[in-house]
Copies of this chain bind each other. A is one copy, B any other.
Amino acid sequence: MIEAVVFDAYGTLYDVQSVAAITEEALPGYGEIITQIWRIKQLEYSWLRSLMRRYQDFSVITRESLAYTLRVLGLEYDSDLFERIVGKYLELELYPDVMPTLSAMQSRKLAILSNGSPVMLETLVRNSGLDRMLDATISIDSQRLFKPAPEAYSLIESILGVPPADVLFISSNPWDACGAKAFGLNVAWIERVTPEAMALAFVKSDVVSPLTMFNAIRTQIDELGLKPDYRIHALSELPGLIAAHES
């Protein structure tokens, strides 16, 4: 039985690419590349700080990775512009199938487990109206280690009281799906970019769009010796998947 359905936030329920409109407006011509480098470095910094035992919460890491990105691109900016871009992380757009999918699963415990800081997550969840749908919004912050450390995933049982075997964890992030699987959760990975679409983007491989490079690094299932239990293409597949899992 799946007693709890637990979601990753960034990239899974919330579209991190939705910052591109703000970055393009703020720094014309650089909207997309800022978005991609920012997100790549944001995750890297979460892993590096975890390994170095130099934890800072995700709001600090989000700011530091944005500062890195703007510096590398040689872009000048003032603090107003910086705050406008970073503020978008508190108002990311939900993927369109989030609300109907969560509505269809209200008989289960529903939660988020995210690298985000408690303040970031509470604000984001409230701003998007998801607070009414969720039983818990769990930040890894109390562990001072980011996903995919097992300590992060252990918070699901300690906060929801549901053992790993009765949890379905959903993430579009391949490294997160693998980390959850390594910990022992049931895992559904959302494949947002198919292998066929990915390969096609590289037919001319000497120049690529920043999005193509991002997709190549961050959207395909990783070679980490672990396989998610399920591969889906949209959140709307979940109610049917759970029914099949339980039968």
Interface on A for B, CB 8 Å cutoff?
29-30, 32-33, 37, 40-41, 44-45, 47-54, 56, 64-65, 67-68, 71-74, 145-146, 148-150, 175, 178-179, 182, 195-196, 198-200, 202, 205-210, 213, 216-217, 220, 222-226
Partner of A73, one of B45, B199, B207: B199
Question: Closest CB-CB distance, A147 to chain B, in whole Å?
Answer: 8
Partner of A222, one of B32, B48, B50, B196: B48
How many copies of the chain does the oligomer comprise? 2
**A220 x B178 contact (CB < 8 A):** no
**A72 x B216 contact (CB < 8 A):** yes
Question: Closest CB-CB distance, A163 to chain B, in whole Å?
Answer: 20
Within 8 Å CB of A225, what residues of B? Answer: 54, 56, 64
Given contacts A41-B217, A206-B29, whether A51 and B50 have CB atoms under 8 Å apart is: yes
**A148 x B45 contact (CB < 8 A):** no
Within 8 Å CB of A30, what residues of B? Answer: 202, 205
**A179 x B52 contact (CB < 8 A):** yes
**How many Å lie between the Cα of A242 and that of B191 in the bound state?**
51
Please give me the residue from chain B that is nearest to A51 by CB atom.
B149
A72-B198, A73-B199, A73-B205 are known contacts; what are 9 more A-B pairs with Cβ within 8 Å? Answer: A40-B217, A44-B44, A48-B178, A48-B222, A50-B51, A52-B182, A67-B223, A72-B199, A74-B198
**B216 x A45 contact (CB < 8 A):** no
Within 8 Å CB of A206, what residues of B? Answer: 29, 32-33, 209-210
**B208 x A208 contact (CB < 8 A):** yes
Within 8 Å CB of A179, what residues of B? Answer: 48, 51-52
**A45 x B224 contact (CB < 8 A):** yes
**How many Å lie between the Cα of A208 and that of B213 in the bound state?**
9
**B149 x A45 contact (CB < 8 A):** no
Question: Closest CB-CB distance, A180 to chain B, in whole Å?
Answer: 10
**A74 x B199 contact (CB < 8 A):** yes
Within 8 Å CB of A200, what residues of B? Answer: 74
Question: Closest CB-CB distance, A43 to chain B, in whole Å?
Answer: 9
